[in-house]
């Protein structure tokens, strides 16, 4: 059995959020929706209690190592133990759980790096809760880069929703800081990592990349901003010099309708909302968040902890299910590559 | 016959762009699509030549005043003459035509203000061409405000696409200038004008308004930007104090999917792409651009001059047709109001 046939390693996320809920719901849909086997890295007690709250009959089976997961998965939800400290109350985040949230991620990464799991899928964490507990990273992406021994700028976020793939060059920073954070070098690096990993994980050998402008109408020849001329165009030219298929800068507002989407494999946007608005407008329930640039596949549902929904049975597992399926497809594509 | 039964006044826009093309195409679809009568304010010679290029059999009838338009409209395209200077070549904009472009707009506004037309519908102009000819306004919106004796800040742009109505608080400025341009007073003014005119023109007495944040995740309690706390929340509170139904600031990326759209009648966004990306992603061919705050209805197709398509027959009249129909509906709603 090679790594491609190992289970996916799924983290629990914040135990007070909807991570346990959507894990249970996805597990119950595994046959109907052909969900690839996964092992949950977390606390079986939290899952059992959440299943009780949601009135779900799910057998939870602690396992010793991941080799048992695929056969267990047909009958029970396999769990590798990472105990959560303190009491877990659905909907009430607690800093006492922060250490286990972090350990779950570390353990999932270690499994994949050791060849015991095929890819990492993460459930939502609360940045605010983790920050209060001293977690030194803005989010998953930066933490995963550090665990892989990389610089944060080596990790590239990609959103996938339906036929749309979008990469934001800058992410979780105030809008006023975007202009300063955008450099030609950073855009080129993002283009190179995106092109390499879209080829590796999606089997598109030389992806067509469409780059947005920063300003309205992509600056309209400098009449509404100069970043296109000074920063973005030079990045596009440098990427082309390295053999990439890149067009732009395109006005962002006309780049995401159905006809426009046919002209590229991946769009590269300059900041958070420019990338996230089209994905979540088109595919709110099914969007997947990927981290490219890592030495392994990482996918995640494209939503937050939704504390208010935890335990209510109202959380939708659709985005997690898409993340599990996409992670499996991606790691198989990577494994099949020459 | 009251004003509501007068024709719409349609400007020609840049004669080298697709304004003439979409005017002719919309006219030919008037019966099939129940398009309300309009009179074109421009040069009949330009229309005749464009009809020849597009191989369209359209009779063009110059008229002396708008009272003849509704009866003429069943058989011929009524035109009120504003001659274009110089030679008009489809696809090749010329500064020589700039004066007539401006006159067409001025004439359309005068007709509506005199009660001889019911509303103004404008075809696309080229800001670059007009600026070279000394036109002192960034675009239609500001020019129309000046013609109505108003300050540019009294005119509010609204985009309508399908069930989505979005108002950007700032529009055609570089992204780096958005932070400085956003003030609490400006947001409040935009909310008040939008609420009043959505009531007046769409018959929604107390519209539910959803306001976006500026930063990713609407700043996430100040961890990713402070404009929400310092500027936007105070504006929302001030608008509520004046009786408006306002929620927010909402993260912009999760405000525009189908389920989210049910919770408001109009979204108010902070800058161009935040408002335009969702509208054009969802309704690229049928989006309509409105100017609220004026003493008359103004609608426009939500696209540019598309010089490369002029005369080819490939331009789509769908957005113009939506603009004509929406302008007619809006002016009838306003006329019917108590």
Instruction: Identify the closest residue of chain B to A275 by CA–CA distance.
Output: B253
Per-residue model confidence as pLDDT tens digits over A29-73: 999 999 999 999 999 999 999 999 999 999 999 999 999 999 999
| DSSP assignment letter at A284 | T
Helix (H, G, I), strand (E, B) or coil at B231: helix
pLDDT band at A337 (very low <50, low <70, confident <90, very high): low
| Strand spans (E) along chain A | 8-11, 38-42, 60-62, 77-81, 120-121, 156-161, 164-168, 208-212, 245-250, 266-269, 288-292, 298-301
Query: Who among A127, A224, A284 is closest to B259 (CB)?
Result: A284
| Interchain contact A262–B (C-beta under 8 A) | no
Token code pair at residue B129: 């061409």
Per-residue buried b or exposed e for A16-37, using 16+ beta carbons within 10 Å of the residue's own CB: bbbbbbbbbbbbbebeeeebbb
For residue B324, which of B295, B292, B296, B290 has the smallest C-alpha distance?
Answer: B290
CA distance B8 to B69: 9
pTM of the shown model: 0.92
**Phi, psi (rounded to 5 degrees) for A163:** -90, 5
- Are B198 and B264 spatial neighbours (Cβ–Cβ below 8 Å)? no
Per-residue model confidence as pLDDT tens digits over A116-167: 999 999 999 998 888 888 888 878 988 999 999 999 889 999 999 999 999 9
Helix (H, G, I), strand (E, B) or coil at A244: coil
Per-residue model confidence as pLDDT tens digits over B131-182: 888 888 878 988 999 999 999 889 999 999 999 999 999 998 999 999 999 9
| Interchain contact A223–B (C-beta under 8 A) | yes
Per-residue model confidence as pLDDT tens digits over A299-318: 999 989 999 999 999 999 99
Helix (H, G, I), strand (E, B) or coil at B249: strand
Query: Who among B179, B227, B282 is closest to A281 (CB)?
Result: B282
Chain B partners within 8 Å of A221 (Cβ): 128
- Are A156 and A197 spatial neighbours (Cβ–Cβ below 8 Å)? yes
| Interchain contact B182–A (C-beta under 8 A) | no
CA distance B49 to A304: 58
| Interchain contact B62–A (C-beta under 8 A) | no
pLDDT above 80 (res B3): no
Query: Who among B127, B131, B253 is closest to A273 (CB)?
Result: B253
Instruction: Identify the closest residue of chain B to A168 by CA–CA distance.
Output: B216
Peptide bond before residue B249 is cis, with ω within 30 degrees of 0: yes
Token code pair at residue A64: 């010793």
| Interchain contact B263–A (C-beta under 8 A) | no
- Are B79 and B39 spatial neighbours (Cβ–Cβ below 8 Å)? yes
| Interchain contact A309–B (C-beta under 8 A) | no
């Amino acid at each position: 059995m090679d790594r491609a046939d190992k289970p996916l390693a799924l983290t629990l996320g914040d135990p007070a959020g909807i991570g346990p809920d959507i894990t249970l719901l996805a597990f119950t849909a595994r046959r109907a929706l052909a969900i690839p086997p996964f092992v949950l890295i977390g606390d079986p007690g939290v899952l059992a209690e959440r299943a009780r709250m949601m009135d779900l009959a799910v057998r939870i089976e602690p396992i010793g190592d991941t080799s048992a997961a695929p056969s267990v998965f047909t009958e029970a939800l396999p769990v590798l133990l990472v105990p959560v400290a303190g009491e877990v109350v659905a909907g009430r985040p607690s800093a006492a759980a922060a250490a286990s949230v972090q350990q779950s991620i570390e353990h999932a990464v270690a499994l994949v790096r050791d060849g015991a799991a095929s890819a990492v899928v993460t459930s939502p964490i609360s940045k605010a809760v983790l920050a209060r507990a001293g977690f030194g990273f803005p989010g998953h992406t930066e933490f995963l880069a550090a665990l892989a021994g990389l610089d944060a700028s080596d990790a590239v976020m990609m959103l996938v929703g339906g036929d749309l793939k979008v990469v934001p060059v800058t992410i979780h920073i105030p809008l006023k800081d975007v202009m300063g954070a955008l450099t030609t070098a950073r855009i080129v690096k993002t283009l190179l990592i995106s092109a390499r990993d879209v080829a590796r994980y999606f089997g598109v050998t030389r992806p067509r990349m469409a780059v947005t402008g920063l300003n309205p109408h992509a600056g309209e020849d400098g009449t509404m901003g100069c970043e296109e001329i000074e920063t973005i165009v030079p990045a596009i030219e440098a990427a082309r010099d390295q053999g990439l298929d890149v067009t732009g800068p395109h006005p962002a507002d006309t780049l995401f309708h159905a006809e426009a989407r046919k002209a590229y494999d991946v769009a590269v946007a300059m900041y958070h909302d420019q990338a996230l608005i089209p994905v979540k407008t088109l595919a709110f329930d099914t969007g997947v968040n990927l981290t490219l640039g890592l030495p392994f596949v990482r996918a995640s549902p494209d939503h937050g902890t939704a504390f208010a929904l935890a335990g209510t049975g109202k959380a939708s597992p659709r985005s997690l299910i898409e993340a599990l399926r996409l992670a499996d497809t991606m790691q198989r594509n990577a494994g099949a590559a020459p």
